[in-house]
Amino acid sequence: MVYLYYMTGLLQKTPRTRESFRPFRGVLTGTVLFLLYFSSCASFSARTEKIPVTQKGGMSEVTLAIVERQNFINDGERTYTHPDGLVFYFVINPAGERSYPAIKDSQNFTIDGNEYWRNLPGSIDSYTVIYSPGIFALEHPAVAEKIGVVNKPGAFVQKTIICGEKLPPKGLVRYVFHFGFEQELEEFEFLFRLQDVL
């Protein structure tokens, strides 16, 4: 099960399963947030690079700022522990003033072409959080300072944790990230070497 939630002054969350996705509407620091799922979108690919790496799309500039090892997920009620996993921090800077952001949750990544994610019954193994910079700085001050989003109006920060089996010591990781506005999504492909982040 995947939990998607957005941050305002209070924590709110909505459960998601891999099989059933529905549009979700909420408020993100005064802005209406639409979580929309689409089959077609613009695509931007990257060569294998060391993190942080930034890609520019037509609507946003997306930076994969940090990838770290993390083998647990806390949904605010309990902690789910797994053999291994990764946490991804993305910084999204819209190109100009835009409203109604849209995302497609990326629940998995591949290592050398093989899917890493594994469904464990009764457990949460993928967890995505969308923050405004201010709320992110309150929740994760050290990370916010490190990636420079403490005072960045208009930006978004996405934190995604994906847990599963034991990670191999090396391999090529491919993570596909989707973000856009209103009813348009852009696809950003990030490639990096697992041994560079472990």
pLDDT tens sequence across 81-140: 999 999 999 999 998 776 667 778 777 899 999 999 766 666 778 888 889 898 999 999
pTM across the whole model: 0.76
143-147 long-range contacts, Cβ below 8 Å, gap at least 24?
Answer: 143/66, 143/89, 146/65, 146/66, 147/52, 147/63, 147/65, 147/66, 147/89, 147/91
* pLDDT score recorded for residue 33: 38
Residue 198 lies in a domain: no
Q: State whether residue 29 is helix, strand or coil.
A: coil
Domain count, the chain: 1
**Rounded-to-integer distance, Cα 129 and Cα 13, Å:** 9
Q: Which tokens hold the place of 91?
A: 């910084």
Mean pLDDT of the chain: 76
Q: In terms of residue numbers, what domain contains 189?
A: 2-193
**How would you classify the pairing of strands 2-6 and 126-131?**
parallel
Residue 55 lies in a domain: yes
Lowest mean pLDDT segment, chosen from 72-86, 112-126, 181-195: 112-126
